[in-house]
Amino acid sequence: MRAPAALPTSLKWGPLAIMVFWIAVMGLLYAVMTQYLKPKPVLVSASGSLVIPRTRDGHFYASGTVNGKPVNFLVDTGASLVTVSEQFARSAGFSAGVPTTFQTANGALPGRIVSDIPITLGPMNVSGMKVGVGLAGAEVGDALLGQSFLSKFEIVLSRDQMTLRQR
């Protein structure tokens, strides 16, 4: 009886090489798309207005602080309050607040409202703000920038940017 012939080297390593190639291609695509979809930085104009560029997903994002702790805001003109997650509120040292139920697009959401919180967005500072606690499904450092903050400014929307001006 004859021993089976050994597989050629190309048949042994070929499938592995193909798999490594596609993993490298997918990793490169992920890195490129992550950079491509990254929100553009907020600009401060010479007049002191804050210019927030629209991102490729159609939203406006800006970095700021809530109670001195950094956050990434999603500008939400339909939200009544600046809103953060419970985990963020604990890490930022929020007090207990007033229990409430938020009415969201996804239904009722239990939470609380905390008063006298300072909020910063670029050069714009507003103290004594009410902040909703109970944002669900977001990263710890994400927050909604709602009308409790936005109503303090004149908002001008153009096709690809939102401009906030002091009133």
Integer Cα distance of 18 and 35 in angstroms: 26
Q: Give the number of other Cβ atoms within 10 Å of residue 66's Cβ.
A: 27
**Structure confidence at residue 46 as a pLDDT band (50, 70, 90):** low
Integer Cα distance of 103 and 108 in angstroms: 5
Whether the pLDDT of residue 36 is over 80: the answer is no
In this predicted structure, which of 22-31, 32-41, 152-161 has the lowest mean pLDDT?
32-41
Integer Cα distance of 82 and 99 in angstroms: 16
Q: Which residue has the higher pLDDT, 81 or 44?
A: 81
Whether the pLDDT of residue 1 is over 70: the answer is no
Q: What is the pLDDT of residue 136?
A: 76
Alpha helical stretches, state H, the chain:
9-37, 86-91, 147-150
Q: Which residue has the higher pLDDT, 123 or 64?
A: 64
In this predicted structure, which of 13-17, 57-61, 84-88, 127-131 has the lowest mean pLDDT?
13-17
- The residues facing 50 across adjacent strands are 44, 164
Q: Give the number of other Cβ atoms within 10 Å of residue 52's Cβ.
A: 25
Q: What is the pLDDT of residue 95?
A: 81
Integer Cα distance of 62 and 40 in angstroms: 9
Dihedral of the alpha carbons of 152, 158, 159, 161, in degrees to the nearest 10:
-50
Whether the pLDDT of residue 2 is over 90: the answer is no
Q: What is the pLDDT of residue 117?
A: 92
The SS3 of residue 44 is strand
Q: Kindly state the percentage of the chain with pLDDT values over 70.
A: 87
Which has the closest alpha carbon to 64: 56, 52, 55, 54? 52
Tell me the pLDDT of the chain averaged across its residues.
85
Class of residue 42 by CB neighbours under 10 A (exposed 0-12, middle 13-18, buried 19+)? buried
The position carrying tokens 């401060």 is: 44
